[in-house]
Structure 1
Amino acid sequence: MSGAGFRLALKAAPPARVDMTGITPDRLAGLDAGAVARLTVFVGASAVALGDVFSLSGAPGAGLTLEGHDRLDNVGAGMAGGHLLAEGPVGALAGAGMVEGHLKILGNAGDDVGAGLAGGHIEIGGSTGARLAGALPGERRGMTGGTVRVAGDVGPQACVRLRGGLVLIAGSAGAGAAQRMIAGTMAVKGALGPEAGVGMKRGTLVLEQPPELLGVGFGDAGEHDLIFLSLLARRMPEVADLFGGSLSGRARRLVGDRLVGGQGEVLVLL
């Protein structure tokens, strides 16, 4: 990741969950070290100065580096630009509501990663909890744009109500993935858990392994040579990379959820 900037190192393990909302490179741009240290974060129910929780080094720039911890919530939430690197795990809602920028997490992440993502890129070096790329609290739509890449496994209900964008999962996905999906692409190299695609309207799932158990509203359309896959590999090379660098173009195609009049497709690569 490029862009110099500040580095935040924890002074001690957090005694409670820390809400990192507002601590993003775009919002720190133009602030000097003293102003950054005076920014407020919540530790549990208490508002404290950022400088009381973290040691600050570096200088203003387009980047921000953060020492990770699984009690740090909302890391990168609402980012509108720049580069944020978390060196280690993070908690819930990482990258929630992002509109632009690049968030890279070197460890695991908690629930609701990329909830409401509208743009930008999120990379997770480990695994995530539940509801990856889902909806923000009170919202009816999940992720609408951008890219999420996960090197490990993801928990249940990934990509529920997905409205757009690209989600790449190198590991396996838990139960209930892509339910009520409206648009976008979800690609899974590992296993896809049961009850996937229930209520799916449109969108595409690309799988390397046959799904364990789709919703009953899916019909098997047989094996096909699909020009779409070649076009997808050219337009989104990340998808081809997930499956070893190329797509043959041949896949078993399942369509659904027909119980709701859906025309979503599940493509199992051959």
Structure 2
Amino acid sequence: MNVSAAEPVVPELKPGTAAKAVRDVLVVTRRNVVRMVRIPEVLILGLVQPVVFVLLFAYLFAGSFGLPGAEGPEAYREFMMPGFFAQTIAFATASNSSVGMATDVQSGMVDRFRSLPVARGALLTGRTVADLVQNSAVVMVMVLCGLLVGWRVHNGLLRALAAFALLLLMGYALSWVGVLVGLSVRAPEAAATGNFLWLFPLTFLSNAFVAPSTLPTVLRWAAEWNPLSATVQAARQLFGNPGLSATGAWPAQHPVLVSVVWSVVIAVVCRALAVRRYRTAGS
């Protein structure tokens, strides 16, 4: 059959090509984003909760907390916002990833994807990319809420964008933890409960809401090396917000580097474990 010169020849994508893998991931991402849009109450409730927390801490508890070298409720409001950015992204990402993944396992969607000629892990990666899209929307709402309570950026737009990039990178890494949890349990309810076993220590044993220098020695060490603490410290540094740790701990002195390393390590390790678990989940 002759091909007309005016008709471009489109190369056929082979099953193992990178282009086909990217296309499969985008298809799954679109599926998850569309599902979010069609169930708006999930997204709305996910946005309302952090807003309520911000208002509570900003106007009810701000006067009860003190910061070394920065006193007053106004200073604490700026101190707390990077912590709330990190906490909100961590809770929203892990919950969405784990519960959504467990639902796919229970409904048989995982078995169906394994039977289709799609890239291995496309269902998992599409899940995490969709969560990244949702996190971006959550961050925008949180920014508006923070500005209303007095939070400000003092180091310029570029550094602020770098801070948000670190926060979203951390959220993407934690979404792989959520995917792994969702593949390891038998029901969405178990996935939701299982998240609290690691999310609460991760968020509250950190520098998100209190300065590590105020903690006992063992807890201070754990907070200084906490992955979330590195991201929060880096965000405060880039935003120019008060409350930077004055300790000599190495993560506190190099928060941007530590945040990137922690996020990459968590994402790589948990993705490898999740793909391995994906081969047998639901069967």
* TM bin (shorter chain): under 0.3
**Structure with greater Cα Rg:** 2
Q: With structure 2 as the length reference, what TM-score do the two structures score?
A: 0.22
Q: Which has the higher contact order (CA 8 A, sep 6+)?
A: 2
Q: With structure 1 as the length reference, what TM-score do the two structures score?
A: 0.23
Higher helix share: 2
Higher strand share: 1
